[in-house]
Structure 1
Amino acid sequence: MHKLPDTLPDWLALLESRHAEIHINMGLERVRTVKDRLGLAFACPVIMVAGTNGKGSTCSMLESILLRAGYKVGLYIKPHFLDFNERAHVNGQLATDAQLVASFHAVEAARADTDLTYFEFTTLAIMDLLAGAGMDVVILEVGLGGRLDAVNVVDADVAIVTSVDIDHTDFLGTTREQIGFEKAGIFRPGKAAICSDPVPPSSLVAHAEAIGADLWLLGRDFNYAGDKQQWNYGGRAVRRNSLAYPSLRGANQLLNAAAALAALEVLRLALPVGAQEVRTGLVLVELPGRFQVLPGRPTVILDVAHNPHAAAALGQNLGNMGFHPYTYGVFGVMADKDIDGVLAPLAGQVDHWCLAELPSARSARAADVAARVAALTPAGAADGERTVRTFADPAAAFANAMSRAGENDRIVVFGSFYTVAGVMAARKNSPH
């Protein structure tokens, strides 16, 4: 028996080295076995959130509102940008290394000879940590899909599917109907199943009805309406008027906020929340890397848009920002993404492309992306007005954009989490 690590970095290195040897077996039997051995159970309401885009925003809004209402809130959210601890929030604070290490030891002891992937192991550890932390409510973000995701060994009291779009086709299928069925796998008989996608796939609706879940559909069971100043939520039994817009910017944030308020409506007897707490929670919510506009000049925007649905929302948000002479695009993406579909909504908005390779075997080659950008470039662009350059990593691409951009220009860093994380790390380590 090898001695187990006693620091978080050593644990993560061990799990990564093991992960390489474990074939991802798409099934929950192994995770369920270890969960039962751990005796993992939540003594409070559990809200689970799945979706192609918008799940992180919805989780963060719920956390922010419930914290303002005085509840002890646990949150599991993915992925992390700089520190693994970002994945586990205990009452609004990041979990400590010591808390995580204790739960890693617990999972390792319960695992015995059962193989777990990195994601399965860390998911069980964080759920174990939150289950033992005396929370009033726990919010769990689903990683991939829903039906076969490791968090789905827990039965949620409220399950939310934010949006259904094409992504992760290797695992989830190539149509919205197939993907909708996978995401509906988090629904449970007799429990609230909320879908805030304006056009829910019929597979999701059919599955919810077949198992006897209490399905809440946008436009039927809950709705929102807004003007420039404020917005209103209407549910089955609860209306909330004169709400502030969420501080998270973007076209889809009212869909996400409406889903969060529907979940709070479902849980209103167990977790009552007042109007002022909802307003304050929405105003103060923060989520790194989701149309995050950094202070200072030139304007820097960080956005993890890496599928066409998210890129279209990013393009719309950039269009709403007001005038900037030039826009620099720092972009890196995985080769298995619909790269043309991600680039297309931004082709007319970005003047200067800084294309980066990513620290992953799955990275698209910057030269290949450059060829795709060139093919999408609008006709008639003057020489020098548009440039495309390639770089070995996101930090170098960002440094180049910063060196060329005027103070009234803007730099949009988007694509893979690796792209945004690489730039965040470079900014953190820069002397300025």
Structure 2
Amino acid sequence: MNLSEWLALLEKRHSKEIDMGLARVAQVKQSLGLKFSCPVIMVGGTNGKGSTCAMLESVLLQAGYRVGLYIKPHFLDFNERARLNGVPANDALLVSAFEKVEAARGDISLTYFEFTTLAICLLMSQETLDVVILEVGLGGRLDAVNVIDADVSIVTSVDIDHTDYLGDTRELIGFEKAGIFRAGKVAICSDPQPPQTLIDHANAIGADLRLFGRDFNYNGDKQQWNYGGREQRRNSLAYPGLRGANQLLNACAVLAALEALRFQLPVGAQEVRTGLVMVELPGRFQVMPGRPVVVLDVAHNPHAAGALAQNLDNMGFHAYTYAVFGSMQDKDIDGVLAHMKGRIDHWCVCDLPLPRAASAEELAVRLEAAGVTNDAEHSVQKFISPEDAYMFAVSKAGENDRIVVFGSFLTVAGVMRARRTKTH
């Protein structure tokens, strides 16, 4: 089977899309003899995981290390999830890893996410790498990635999301996120107000907990910023290439992790500076070149929508702002709209190609309930896909307007696909 045939098979094989628990994954991991011979950094959290992983990868590549990165979900090609030295793994490597997992699992049923996580971890364990960075999927404690023991674990932020699986308070969710911490190993949290449950769990298992504001911090002016950790200071740093007010918290977590690994993976000041400036990550307040301005952002919960709103406010004047918005039904849609409604003039809401997505009709009803009106200056239009919604926004927006594409990964991926088709 080729890669797309494998992925089609895995998508329909297991009865549940999400099946919490590590017993089945741990069993197959043992059958595979899966282990890493280099340091492993694991990154969890509600928001900021992808940015933190991308910055770690960028800095470590600048320092000349061979880096493996597992990051998700993907936008256009599955291969984006497995990066070797900054480049997506090829189909042949992935298919070979899939075949090995298939042979090792016997009659154990694995979800798409569990199967592909094991395959990508196996692939990376068989490459000659100096460091592996693993992004956690949902939660932490029961996420498939957590069958791997990390040398350094990072929790970026703790906020309300995936309440059906993780609980509906920051304290409950904080406990789930802290599940990636390990006894005697460095555990970093860059959330300025970490839940007490996270701190208590780290202390209970004897992790070496490092908290933002207590063990590491930053200060700076408009030109540059400085990092101060327990044993290391880094001064005169350039601001990260990723835009947004919260990126300094993510960059601090990166530097705290590098500080913890400074004897195994020493990194110089210039490599840190260059790595932070050069970092790229699709779909995180990504401002596309050209006019009208197009912003792509996978903000799909209130915490992320608050950050997106703040970033939009910092962009300067635009006559009208169009939004292309699609969301999963299980998200706090009203919480997201509360942050965004005052910043959007024309809403283009869309259906998404998943059963658990909210319909465009439902999103329009939520907008109306939130007080968004249809008049000469404002509108709400419904579309059957992100592509259609985006094409409509492009046809209406003037060159001094902007189009903000946000919500589910599928919304942003649909628009990326539409833009790619248009340019080819």
Q: What secondary structure does 1:188 align onto?
A: coil
Consecutive aligned runs of 4 or more in structure 1 exceeding 3 Å deviation: 22-25
Asked if 2 retains the 8 angstrom alpha-carbon contact of 1:22 and 1:116, the reply is no
User: Aligned in 2, Cα 1:132/1:382: closer, same or farther, shift over 3 Å?
Assistant: closer
The letter of the residue matching 2:106 is A
Q: Show structure 2 runs of 5+ residues with no match.
A: none
Q: Show structure 1 runs of 5+ residues with no match.
A: none
Q: Does 1:189 align with 2:186?
A: no
What is the aligned partner in structure 2 of residue 8 from structure 1?
3
- The C-alpha deviation readout for 1:205-247, integer Å capped at 9, x for no partner, is 0000000000000011000112111111000010001100001
- The C-alpha deviation readout for 1:392-416, integer Å capped at 9, x for no partner, is 1100000000000001110000000
Q: What secondary structure does 1:329 align onto?
A: strand
The letter of the residue matching 2:129 is M
The TM-score with structure 2 as length reference comes to 0.98
Asked if 2 retains the 8 angstrom alpha-carbon contact of 1:24 and 1:117, the reply is yes
What is the aligned partner in structure 2 of residue 283 from structure 1?
277
For 1:337-376, what aligned pairs fall within 5 Å after superposition? 337-376=331-370
Q: What secondary structure does 1:124 align onto?
A: helix
Q: Does 1:103 align with 2:122?
A: no
Shift of 1:363: 1.2
For 1:9-28, what aligned pairs fall within 5 Å after superposition? 9-19=4-14, 21-22=15-16, 24-28=18-22
Identity rate, percent = 72
Asked if 2 retains the 8 angstrom alpha-carbon contact of 1:163 and 1:197, the reply is yes
1-side partners of 2:337 and 2:77: how far apart? Answer: 29
The letter of the residue matching 2:79 is N
For 1:94-243, what aligned pairs fall within 5 Å after superposition? 94-243=88-237
Q: What secondary structure does 2:337 align onto?
A: helix
Q: Does 1:391 align with 2:393?
A: no
What is the aligned partner in structure 1 of residue 253 from structure 2?
259
Asked if 1 retains the 8 angstrom alpha-carbon contact of 2:17 and 2:112, the reply is no
Shift of 1:26: 2.0
Q: What is the alpha-carbon root mean square deviation over aligned residues?
A: 1.1
Q: Does 1:64 align with 2:58?
A: yes
The letter of the residue matching 2:11 is E
Shift of 1:342: 0.4
The letter of the residue matching 1:258 is C
For 1:281-360, what aligned pairs fall within 5 Å after superposition? 281-360=275-354
Asked if 1 retains the 8 angstrom alpha-carbon contact of 2:224 and 2:237, the reply is yes
What is the aligned partner in structure 2 of residue 425 from structure 1?
417
2-side partners of 1:293 and 1:372: how far apart? Answer: 27
- The C-alpha deviation readout for 1:349-390, integer Å capped at 9, x for no partner, is 100000001001111121221122123346xx7931001100
Q: What secondary structure does 1:347 align onto?
A: helix
Asked if 1 retains the 8 angstrom alpha-carbon contact of 2:218 and 2:228, the reply is yes
Shift of 1:22: 4.8
2-side partners of 1:259 and 1:431: how far apart? Answer: 37
Asked if 1 retains the 8 angstrom alpha-carbon contact of 2:155 and 2:189, the reply is yes
Asked if 2 retains the 8 angstrom alpha-carbon contact of 1:231 and 1:241, the reply is yes
Q: What secondary structure does 2:317 align onto?
A: coil
- The C-alpha deviation readout for 1:172-223, integer Å capped at 9, x for no partner, is 0010000000000000000000000000000000000000000000011000
What is the aligned partner in structure 2 of residue 413 from structure 1?
405
Q: What secondary structure does 2:344 align onto?
A: coil
The TM-score with structure 1 as length reference comes to 0.97
1-side partners of 2:320 and 2:102: how far apart? Answer: 52
2-side partners of 1:416 and 1:290: how far apart? Answer: 12
Shift of 1:431: 4.7
User: Aligned in 2, Cα 1:374/1:134: closer, same or farther, shift over 3 Å?
Assistant: same
The letter of the residue matching 2:13 is R
- How many pairs were matched up? 424
Q: What secondary structure does 2:342 align onto?
A: coil
Q: What secondary structure does 2:322 align onto?
A: strand
